[in-house]
Structure 1
Amino acid sequence: MKEEIQEMEGSVETEKPRRKGGEERPLTTDERASFVILSLYMAIFCICTFVYWDSLVLKILGVTSGAGGIFLFVAAFFNTEAAKKSNSIHPLRSYLISLSITLLELFSIRFVAGIIDNMVWSLVVAGGGLLVALVVFRKALVQVATTLLAIVFLFVTISNRHDVLVGHMKFKDAVRQCGHVVFQIGPIKDVANLLLAGNYMGYLSRIDYRDVQINMLATRIVAQSHDDEVVKTREILDFVSNEIHYVSDPGDGVEYAKDPISTLIAGGGDCEDQTLLLCSMLETVGVKTYIAFTDDHVFALVRFSRRNPVPGVAPHLFVDGIPCYALDAADPGASIGRCASAPHAVKRVFDVRRKAPVEFEIAP
């Protein structure tokens, strides 16, 4: 009997106390980060209810949300009741690493996709890289990305506060402006431009102004130009439009773009081939060019460093407010400023060197 009593007492002593539901403990790092991020979302929602929306119900929800956000923010930094910290699933370094990985991923995509001509493979590289980063860092990566978007939205709202307060900027306008700001960030803009370039990359990747033979030929043509941009442009345009004859692609509905050397050897090509050769030759002797695409035509644009370079010739388009003149190599006897396509027919304009789309205007 005594032995049974002793065994029962021993089992009671060894039984571990259960944790009470109301017992306080310190927040883990990922919980603190989640609280801060959530408080940011709630604060932005509160601001939106007062500056973008007129509904009384939404304003009440906004005040409630703002108060809850303040509570979460305070709790994230002043929750120190317990003496011992618990382990964090996502320590601070995970968030720092996630941000670094996000930027590194963008630069990697920019580099890899830049050397891939096929749009499908570019999308596979971009999507696959982001998916791997998302799988590895999961919650931390999503939190970093959404926090950046929230901060950008807040920045847009504050920087346009006058338009917001008088009602000129609505919520959807702010979201649209937020998208514009995000895609102006260097690496993000580069990746977006690569994806936007899409099928045009098949043409842009053919340009090779660093080719030694292209440089030698162009240099010999402009040897007597005294390095004048306009003179060099005229001489090279004369050569391409008169010596490289227009020859259509096979009529199977597929566009074929030849590299400049192949076009020179063939002595002919369609408007894409002639334009790629023209841009390569101009760029290799220091003349800035762009490629313009319409629904059924391709031609070059040239930008000169001095104002009014060709008297009596009007600019075709303006890139960054700077006049650009048309060069239509498919036109025998072409001249600066003359083009078969009207300015309003242009769909895309690409920077030859950066192989990226640029914004353009018909009038400054």
Structure 2
Amino acid sequence: MSDELQNISADDTPPKLRKRSREVRPLTTDERASFAILALYMFIGCISAFVYWDSLTIRILGVTAGSCGMFLFVAAFFNTEGRGRSDSIHPLRSYLISFFSVLCVLFILRFIGGLISNYFVASVVMYIGLIVSLIIFRKAMVQVVTAMLAIIFLFVMIHNWEDVIDGKMGFEDSVRRCGQAVFQIGPIQDVTNMLIAGNYVNYLNQVNYSDPQLNIFATRLVRGCEDETLCKTKAVLDYVSNQIHYVSDPLDGFEHAKDPINTLISTGGDCEDQTLLLCSLLESVGVKTYIAFTDDHVFALVPLEGDYDKLNALPAVYIENEPCYALDPSDPNAVIGRTSANPRQIGRVFNVRRKAIVEFSLTNQR
């Protein structure tokens, strides 16, 4: 009996805990992405410390941050000690899907915000949409957005490198331009403009300022004007408003935007056709133009710098604090600065060359 008790007590003795060896596992995809993004921000901090500030302390911190970023980068992409590297719980394809999904969400939010004329309501919609997207995509969206912001900041810094080196552009200026550059870089700008432009694209695509026949015709109209913008504008506006007669579109419920060459040959068209011809002729001789849309009218805008007291007219709108005067070719004997439309009724204004929507105001913001 005593032997059995001794055996039982011996069996109940807990085994001694042996020291476990160091475990090494591979980094998951989301960990690699986080390390790489953090390393990118550290590199940016290192560069910024040398180009934006002269303080030795800040530069030492910048070098430290850059060194840490290098270690993180190496750890993110050269972590080969762990077993089963391909068994990551976050495969690469999931991040690619998340990346494109987040971009689609951002484009949709930008499109919706562009359709709302009230700035406050548009801001509320944008921020609520971002919060909802953050809840849905969680970590993936945070990583994608932070990576995009870092890349845009680098783009702004490199694009304005001479101003940065000369001290004309500080860190705060770079951050401000970074915010302005969002959705305005290359393909992103084109897609965004296309989304916002919507039904207006059909009109904008008809503007043809590179056509050699239109250029020859416009050059004949402005001969004697040398390179004076006001003289060119008057000459082209006089011809279109007097020689191209207003002719309505067919009553089929659709808008028919004609090619400027066809409008010129037929010597007739509605306000859209006359405006497209006017802009094509002016742009072909170097006069910058915009197209303004109201609910039931279309007319052109031309920026005129300097004091034009002889115009006896006020600017219709201001674009980038530059006065822009109305050109309404549908009015026979039209003059610069006068239009049958009320400027307060203008809904959209587009840059003719870039086919991009532009912001405008009825008063000078300077």
TM range (shorter): 0.5 to 0.7
Name the SS of the counterpart of 1:360 in structure 2. Answer: coil
**Structure 1 CA distance, aligned partners of 2:26 and 2:214?**
65
Q: Conserved in 2, the CA contact under 8 Å of 1:24 and 1:81?
A: no
The secondary structure found in structure 1 opposite 2:85 is coil
Q: Which residue of structure 2 lines up, in the alignment, with residue 288 of structure 1?
A: 288
Distance (Å, rounded) in 2 between the aligned partners of 1:338 and 1:183: 35
Corresponding residue of 1:26: 25
Identity %: 47
Distance 1:36 1:82, change over 3 A: closer
Distance (whole Å) between structure 1 residues aligned to residue 329 and residue 245 of structure 2:
9
* Structure-1 separation of matches of 2:233 and 2:80: 76
- Kindly provide the CA deviation profile for residues 235-255 of structure 1, in whole angstroms up to 9, marking residues without a partner as x: 110000000000000111110
* 8 Å contact from structure 1 (residues 98, 141) kept in 2: no
Quote the offset at 1:139 in angstroms: 12
Superposed displacement of residue 85, structure 1: 4.7
Distance across 1 between alignment mates of 2:316 and 2:226: 26
* Aligned residues of 2:299 and 2:326 also touching (Cα < 8 A): yes
Deviation at 1:141, TM superposition (A): 8.1
Partner of 1:254: 254
CA distance in 2, matches of 1:197, 1:143: 29
Residue 298 of structure 1 is matched in structure 2 by 298
Equivalent residue number for residue 331 of structure 2:
331
Whichever residue aligns with residue 219 of structure 2, its letter is T
Matched residue SS, 1:326: strand
Q: CA deviation at 1:193?
A: 1.1
- Partner amino acid for 1:230? L
Equivalent AA in structure 2 for residue 209 of structure 1? Y
* 1:342 CA drift (Å): 1.3
Matches within 5 A, 1:38-77: none
State whether residues 327 and 335 of structure 2, in contact with CA within 8 Å, keep that contact through their aligned partners in structure 1: yes
Give the 3-state SS of the residue equivalent to 1:315 in structure 2. Answer: coil
Deviations 1:47-68 (A, max 9, x none): xxxxxxxxxxxxxxxxxxxxxx
Note closer, same or farther for the CA distance 1:81–1:202 as it changes in structure 2 (3 Å cut).
Answer: closer
Cα shift readout 1:312-346 (whole Å, capped 9, x = no counterpart):
32111111111101000000000000011111110
Does the 8 A contact of 1:271 with 1:298 survive in 2? yes
| Equivalent in the alignment of 1:341 | 341
Q: How does 1:16-165 map to 2 (within 5 A)?
A: 24-33=23-32, 83-88=81-86, 144-148=143-147
**Residues 44-98 of structure 1: CA distance to partner in whole angstroms, max 9, x if unpaired?**
xxxxxxxxxxxxxxxxxxxxxxxxxxxxxx9x969x99954542468xxx69x96
Q: TM-score, normalised by structure 1?
A: 0.58
Residue 188 of structure 1 and its aligned partner are, at CA, apart by 2.4
In the alignment, structure 2 segments of 5+ residues that lack a partner are 1-19, 39-71, 108-136, 152-177
**What secondary structure is seen at the aligned counterpart in 2 of 1:291?**
strand
- Following superposition, the deviation at residue 310 of structure 1 comes to 4.9
* Alignment partner of 1:276 is 2:276: yes
SS for the counterpart of 2:349 is strand
| TM-score between both structures, scaled by the size of structure 2 | 0.58
Provide Cα deviations, 1:262-289, integer angstroms capped at 9, x if missing partner: 1011110000000000000000011110
- Structure 1's unaligned 5+ residue stretches are 1-20, 40-73, 110-137, 153-177
- Cα distance in 1 for residues equivalent to 2:339 and 2:245: 17
Evaluate the alpha carbon distance shift between residue 25 and residue 317 of structure 1 in structure 2; reply closer, same or farther with a 3 A threshold. same
Once the 2 structures are TM-superposed, how far is the Cα of residue 229 of structure 1 from its aligned partner?
0.9
Task: Classify 1:30/1:290 alpha carbon distance in 2 versus 1 (closer, same or farther; 3 Å).
Answer: same
Task: Report if the CA contact (8 A) 1:315-1:337 is conserved.
Answer: yes
In 2, the alpha carbon distance for the partners of 1:273 and 1:226 equals 27
Q: Deviations over 1:193-250 (max 9, x none)?
A: 1111111010000010111110111111111212211111101100000000000001
Is 1:229 aligned to 2:229, yes or no? yes
Superposition deviation, residue 143 in structure 1: 6.9
Paired residues of 1:25 and 1:81 also in contact (CA < 8 A) = no
1:353 aligned onto 2:350: no
CA distance in 1, matches of 2:300, 2:208: 15
d(CA) in 2 for partners of 1:33, 1:143: 14
Letter in 1 for 2:276: L
Q: Which residue of 2 aligns with 1:203?
A: 203
CA distance, structure 2, for counterparts of residue 341 and residue 353 of structure 1: 23
1:264 match:
264
CA distance in 2, matches of 1:241, 1:259: 17
- In structure 2, the CA distance between the partners of 1:141 and 1:206, relative to structure 1 (3 Å rule), is farther
Residues 32 and 77, structure 1, Cα contact 8 Å, conserved in 2:
no
Stretches of 4+ aligned residues off by more than 4 angstroms: 34-39, 80-83, 138-144, 149-152, 178-181
Q: Is the 8 A contact 1:207 1:260 kept in 2?
A: yes
Backbone CA RMSD of aligned residues: 4.3
Closer, same or farther: CA 325–82 of 1 in aligned 2, 3 Å? closer
Deviation at 1:303, TM superposition (A): 1.3
SS in structure 2 at match of 1:250:
coil
Q: Distance in 1 between matches of 2:202 and 2:313?
A: 32
Q: Is the 8 A contact 1:237 1:329 kept in 2?
A: yes
Q: Which residue of 1 aligns with 2:318?
A: 318
| Partner amino acid, structure 2, of 1:342 | N
